[in-house]
Amino acid sequence: MDVLAAHGGLFLGSRLKRLAERLQGDVASIIAESGLPIQPSQFPLLAALDHSGPMTIGQLVDAVGISQPAITRMLPRLAALDLVTIARIGRDQRHKTVSLTPQGEAAMATAKRDVWPRVESAVAALCDGLTGPLLDQVSAIETALGEAPLSARGNGLVIREFSDALARDFHDINAEWITSMFRLEDTDREVLENPRARIIDPGGVILFVEAAGLGIVGACALQKTGERQFELTKMGVRSRAQGRKVGEFLLRAVIDRATAMQVETLYLLTNAICAPAIHLYEKLGFRHDTAIMRDFGARYARCDVAMRYHPQKLGG
């Protein structure tokens, strides 16, 4: 028996504290994935400094809403991590000003890009549709967290369908990664400059990934090359979205779409230099295929790897 839940409002404070600890534990795992050495409880203080600049301890108490002893205990730990500096104002030891170090500013930039949107998205999904008495809502949140933690819920990524307004994003995202390793070939330019005519109108699909706080960061196309035969092509992710697992999120969505379309032959063409991408393709079910290379590999001068999707071997 869950004693805290069974006694309704009698132990509400303890129950909310337990829920808060569960949420903070989940957030800690998301922070750890970003590589930041920060605890969830430290973020409000850092956020106050990031928002308002240098502050006294008294100002931090007002801004964060926790006690002065708690702030005082937290600051030396953050200073040891070189995230904040603590300077005395005049000769009075009781008055000190706290500010972010350059490393602290960089950590906050990473948090706002990689951690905060993911947590906000997960919490929004967790609380979506909650209605009724507070205790019922708390029970619903506890049940949902038992089924899947925050880290498994929100990654701040959303799939978007093609529209003419996103045609420029399709071009720029792919031009960015292609020119970073190769050169744009004529077949690249034709597709990237005419996505509706070359992909959408003949029966293909272009999907995009929008990341919270970053906008459109990824794109991938299914280009029809025969009856129930499609090439997975022009898959790219913005460099600013690295670390968000955008590529895997997008690739899974494209494979799901191909499955829904009852595609019989799904293949891709790439180059061995794209080792991380090839590893991802292999993880999600693509296998190297000599017949695909023979039939389609000549399309790109840079192509030396051809792969076919095998749904029965789907992994990961």
How far is residue 8's CA from residue 74's CA, in Å, rounded to a whole number? 34
Instruction: Please say if the pLDDT value at position 94 is more than 80.
Output: no
253-273 mean pLDDT: 94
Task: Determine how β-strand 265-270 pairs with β-strand 229-237.
Answer: parallel
pLDDT computed for residue 229 by the predictor: 97
Instruction: Name the more confident of 238 and 149.
Output: 238
How far is residue 115's CA from residue 25's CA, in Å, rounded to a whole number? 14
Instruction: Please say if the pLDDT value at position 243 is more than 80.
Output: no
Residue 175 and residue 125 share a domain: no
Q: pLDDT tens digits, residue range 190-218?
A: 999 999 999 999 999 999 999 877 899 99
Structural domain boundaries, residue 145 = 3-152
291-306 mean pLDDT: 94
Residue 187 and residue 122 share a domain: no
Residue 262 and residue 172 share a domain: yes
DSSP-assigned beta bridge partners for residue 306: 269
Residue 306 and residue 168 share a domain: yes
For residues 196 and 151, is the Cβ–Cβ distance under 8 A? no
CATH number at residue 140: 1.10.10.10
How far is residue 278's CA from residue 130's CA, in Å, rounded to a whole number? 42
Residue 284 and residue 145 share a domain: no
Instruction: Name the more confident of 89 and 87.
Output: 87
What's the pTM value of the predicted model, to 2 decimals? 0.58
Confidence of residue 8 (pLDDT cuts 50, 70, 90): confident
Average pLDDT over all residues of the chain: 90
pLDDT computed for residue 316 by the predictor: 38
146-160 mean pLDDT: 77
Domain boundary among 101, 128, 152: 152
Residue 280 and residue 181 share a domain: yes
pLDDT computed for residue 275 by the predictor: 94
Instruction: Please say if the pLDDT value at position 312 is more than 60.
Output: no
- Structurally, the chain folds into a number of domains equal to 2
pLDDT computed for residue 60 by the predictor: 94
